[in-house]
């Protein structure tokens, strides 16, 4: 009888433990993810600082120019296309909205401020992430899994200096320039839709663009683009560089997963950073 | 003995719960070719990566010229490791760079040499590794053998004092395997570096090695010369060496030295003490000249053809053969006296001059550069022995009686 009571109490405590574990599991998962995030954020920050420290070396210039071509010059077409059509859509939407209020004269203001303050830096960052960021992650990831990075180590060539630093510097230079290009072509796109296609007044549009923008808008936009550059290039390089450390996949699949993670994470972080930077600058 | 160049003392390495190396002790000496053999996935590459500093041990000490690496300053460690080059199993060539750029990379990034100096040095290595026509190609445009040579050229371009080769012959056909091993041996002699090779090309790798380290069951179970390994009695031999030797027999038709000895002892047991047998030693003369003029692959093709011809000819009449060194073969005629063996050799010489030497030249010519020409000289010596005598003594006696039995001089452009 006593034995049976003991067995029953043991079964009850087992069930209670299972129930507790089940109830706590969402919190455990959240905690684990949070710890992993903190770890990765810390590691990325150290990765960035170490790579930046290795920038100033006489043999870096050629590699920086090469990366400027890849990240910057080669992204020009996509930035021109996206910028132009973003401006056109802005012109179109704002024309129809403002006409109802009898304020179509403010189209230039709306287009210019939207582009320079927000859409220019954000969309440029996201477009470069999609075009160059993904390629950076994939290239470094393949170099990692095919032991090319180990080969650099064995040749006593610092992989951070050789692979990462030039990309960070090139991104910091390219992002603001491409943002400026995006802003400019976006304003032209807004002009095309609002003035050329819908018949808004050209003089008013251009005057409003000029008068509504001040230097702070431009510098804030550039500050954002530099912040985004650092985020995008660090995330993309970090994901590629540590492809071999992934727990969820290995080999070629790991390169694919790293590339996807880099693009998704960079895009989300760009939007989060946009809010934070805007709230600090405003 | 001198202080070892590299010494492992009780080195243990774990990945998660898996122990790869456990209390490994080993010594590698300067100026030698040391080969690490072992089963696939047994931790050979991990061991090699410890030497070059890509992996750190969990326990134990690695000493470089008698000084523990973990007790050195960072600059001392860097200086020690800077003397080493590493040739990866899969070459690890940069696929976005040409062969030339790959080879020039360590010089461009690590030295203050001028462009002209770099170019001179890189071109010298490219010529030495027979890659002149491929210098502007990307690694993906090269064959496996050429990629290996490009990786070798990159490893040697900084004039290292220690070169680590991780499975340098993997994925190559038998001729190329031997060509790569021959290349390693030739460069090791030429440049005087210490070579540490991870390989399972048994017994081919013995011909170029001064020392063998056997990794088995997470530990080094043997350290010594290839000859000492012959007498080593351990489960490692059954599991690793015999299986690989069996594979080797399939590839070349020749017995390994160990199989040869087993067959020899088996035959001699059946003989009376006063019975006689004969030994013939064949040699492809001036191998270095052949390599220099026709390249490693042609030389290996010639050696392989010669081995196959000897085995085919004498195997049919009860003889058994092995490769004794890189360019020497030994055949035992277990039931022949000297007169009979001389007749057999005479027949062989006739057959050899009619067909054999032509086959050797044909094999070599397939891989030689057009217009290249060289003399193929084959030597042979014969000696008689009795079961009581040591086989090595009879072989040495046959070796001392070697004379030319065949020569083929090609015409230029042939």
Give the chain A residue nearest B112 (alpha carbons).
Answer: A59
Q: Do A59 and B85 touch (CB under 8 A)?
A: no
User: What is the residue whose two structure tokens read 């891989």?
Assistant: B367
Burial class (CB in 10 A: 0-12, 13-18, 19+), B112: exposed
How does strand B211-216 pair with strand B219-224? antiparallel
- How far apart (Å, rounded) are the C-alpha atoms in residues B56 and B11? 10
Cβ–Cβ under 8 Å, residues A111 and A49: no
Q: Do B92 and A147 touch (CB under 8 A)?
A: yes
Cβ–Cβ under 8 Å, residues A121 and A179: yes
- How far apart (Å, rounded) are the C-alpha atoms in residues A7 and B97? 70
Chain B positions contacting chain A at CB under 8 Å are 52-54, 78, 81-82, 84-86, 88, 90, 92-96, 105-106, 108-110, 158
Task: Show the domains of chain B with their CATH numbers.
Answer: 6-248 (3.40.50.300), 254-409 (3.30.70.270)
Chain A positions contacting chain B at CB under 8 Å are 59, 139, 142-143, 146-148, 150-151, 153-157, 162
| Minimum distance, in Å, between the CA of residue A248 and any CA atom of chain B | 16
Nearest to A146 among B52, B53, B92 (CB): B92
Q: How many CA atoms lie within 13 A of B335 on its CB side?
A: 6
Maximum C-alpha span of chain A: 98
| Minimum distance, in Å, between the CA of residue B227 and any CA atom of chain A | 33
Cβ–Cβ under 8 Å, residues B386 and B321: no
- The ipTM of this complex is 0.79
| Minimum distance, in Å, between the CA of residue A148 and any CA atom of chain B | 5
Q: Do A154 and B86 touch (CB under 8 A)?
A: yes
Quickly list DSSP for A116-177. Answer: IIIIHHHHHHHHHIIIIIHHHHHHHHHHHHTTHHHHHHHTT--HIIIIIHHHHHHHHHHHHH
First to last CA, chain B: 52
- How far apart (Å, rounded) are the C-alpha atoms in residues B157 and B159? 5
**How far is CA A150 from each of CA A142, A143, B8, rounded to the nearest angstrom?**
12, 9, 22
Give the chain B residue nearest A152 (alpha carbons).
Answer: B106
Nearest to B109 among A143, A146, A162 (CB): A162
Q: Could you read off the pLDDT tens digit of each residue along chain B, which spans 414 residues? A: 578 899 999 999 998 888 999 999 999 999 889 999 888 788 898 999 999 888 999 999 999 988 898 888 888 888 888 889 999 988 999 999 999 999 999 999 988 899 999 999 999 989 888 888 899 999 999 988 788 889 989 998 998 999 999 988 877 777 777 778 888 888 888 888 999 999 877 767 777 888 889 888 888 988 888 778 777 777 777 666 665 555 555 445 667 776 777 778 777 777 777 788 888 888 888 777 777 777 777 777 777 777 877 887 887 778 888 887 778 888 888 888 888 888 888 888 777 777 766 666 666 666 556 666 677 788 888 888 887 778 888 888 888 888 887 776 654 444
Interface test with A, best of B109, B153, B158 (most A CBs within 10 A): B109
Nearest to A150 among B92, B94, B108 (CB): B92
Give the chain B residue nearest A162 (alpha carbons).
Answer: B109
Torsion angles phi and psi, residue B219, rounded to 5: -140, 160
| Minimum distance, in Å, between the CA of residue A59 and any CA atom of chain B | 8
Per CB-CB distance under 8 Å, the chain B contacts of A157 are 105-106, 109-110
Per CB-CB distance under 8 Å, the chain B contacts of A148 are 92-95
Helix (H) / strand (E) element for B272: namely none
Edge-to-edge strand ranges of the sheet holding B375-385: B320-325, B328-333, B277-284, B375-385, B403-409
């Amino acid at each position: 009888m006593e034995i049976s009571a003991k067995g029953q109490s043991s079964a009850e405590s087992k069930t209670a433990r299972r129930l507790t574990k089940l109830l706590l599991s969402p919190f455990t998962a959240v905690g684990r993810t949070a710890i992993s995030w903190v770890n990765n954020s810390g590691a990325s920050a150290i990765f960035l600082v170490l790579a930046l420290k290795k920038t100033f070396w006489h043999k870096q210039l050629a590699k920086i120019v090469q990366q400027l071509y890849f990240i910057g010059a080669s992204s020009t077409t996509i930035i021109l296309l996206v910028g132009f059509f973003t401006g056109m859509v802005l012109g179109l939407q704002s024309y129809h909205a403002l006409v109802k209020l009898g304020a179509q004269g403010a189209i230039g203001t709306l287009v210019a401020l939207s582009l320079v303050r927000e859409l220019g830096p954000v969309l440029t960052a996201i477009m470069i992430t999609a075009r160059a960021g993904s390629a950076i992650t994939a290239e470094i990831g393949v170099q990692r899994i095919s032991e090319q990075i180990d080969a650099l180590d064995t040749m006593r060539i610092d992989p951070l200096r050789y692979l990462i630093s030039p990309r960070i510097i090139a991104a910091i230079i390219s992002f603001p320039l491409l943002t400026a290009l995006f802003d400019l072509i976006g304003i032209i796109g807004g002009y095309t839709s609002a003035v050329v296609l819908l018949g808004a007044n050209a003089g008013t549009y251009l005057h409003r663009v000029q008068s509504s923008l001040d230097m702070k808008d431009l510098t804030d936009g550039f500050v954002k683009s530099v912040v985004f550059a650092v985020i995008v290039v660090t995330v993309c390089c970090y994901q590629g560089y540590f492809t071999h450390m992934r727990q969820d996949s290995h080999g070629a699949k790991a390169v694919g997963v790293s590339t996807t993670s880099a693009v998704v994470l960079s895009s989300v972080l760009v939007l989060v950073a946009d809010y934070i930077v805007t709230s600090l600058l405003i | 003995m001198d202080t070892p160049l590299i010494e492992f003392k009780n080195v243990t390495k774990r990945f998660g719960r898996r122990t790869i190396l456990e209390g490994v002790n080993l010594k590698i000496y300067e100026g030698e070719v040391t080969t690490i053999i072992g089963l696939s996935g047994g931790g050979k590459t991990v061991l090699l990566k410890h030497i070059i500093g890509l992996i750190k041990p969990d326990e134990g000490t690695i000493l470089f010229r008698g000084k523990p690496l973990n007790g050195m300053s960072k600059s001392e460690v860097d200086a020690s490791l800077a003397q080493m080059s590493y040739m990866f199993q899969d070459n690890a060539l940069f696929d976005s760079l040409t062969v030339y750029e790959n080879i020039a990379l360590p010089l461009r990034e690590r030295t203050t040499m001028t462009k002209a100096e770099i170019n001179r040095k890189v071109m010298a290595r490219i010529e030495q590794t027979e890659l002149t026509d491929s210098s502007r190609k990307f690694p993906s445009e090269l064959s496996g053998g050429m990629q290996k040579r490009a990786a070798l050229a990159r490893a040697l371009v900084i004039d290292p004092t220690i070169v680590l080769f991780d499975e340098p012959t993997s994925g190559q056909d038998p001729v190329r395997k031997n060509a790569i091993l021959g290349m390693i041996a030739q460069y090791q002699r030429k440049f005087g570096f210490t070579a540490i090779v991870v390989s399972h090309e048994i017994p081919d790798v013995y011909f170029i090695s001064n020392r063998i380290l056997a990794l088995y069951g997470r530990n080094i179970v043997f350290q010594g010369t290839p000859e000492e390994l012959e007498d080593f009695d351990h489960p490692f031999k059954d599991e690793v060496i015999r299986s690989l030797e069996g594979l080797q027999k399939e590839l070349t038709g020749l017995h390994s030295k160990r199989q040869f000895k087993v067959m020899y002892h088996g035959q001699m047991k059946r003989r009376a003490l006063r019975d006689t047998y004969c030994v013939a030693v064949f040699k492809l003369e001036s191998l270095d000249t052949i390599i220099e003029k026709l390249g490693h692959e042609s030389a290996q093709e010639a050696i392989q053809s010669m081995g196959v011809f000897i085995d085919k000819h004498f195997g049919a009449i009860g003889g058994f053969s092995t490769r004794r060194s890189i360019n020497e073969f030994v055949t035992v005629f277990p039931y022949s006296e000297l007169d009979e063996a001389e007749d057999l050799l005479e027949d062989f010489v006739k057959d050899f001059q009619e067909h054999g030497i032509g086959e050797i030249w044909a094999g070599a010519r397939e891989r030689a550069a057009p217009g290249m020409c060289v003399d193929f000289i084959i030597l042979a010596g014969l000696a008689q022995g009795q079961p009581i005598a040591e086989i090595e003594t009879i072989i040495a006696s046959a070796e001392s009686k070697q004379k030319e039995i065949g020569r083929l001089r090609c015409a230029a452009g042939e």
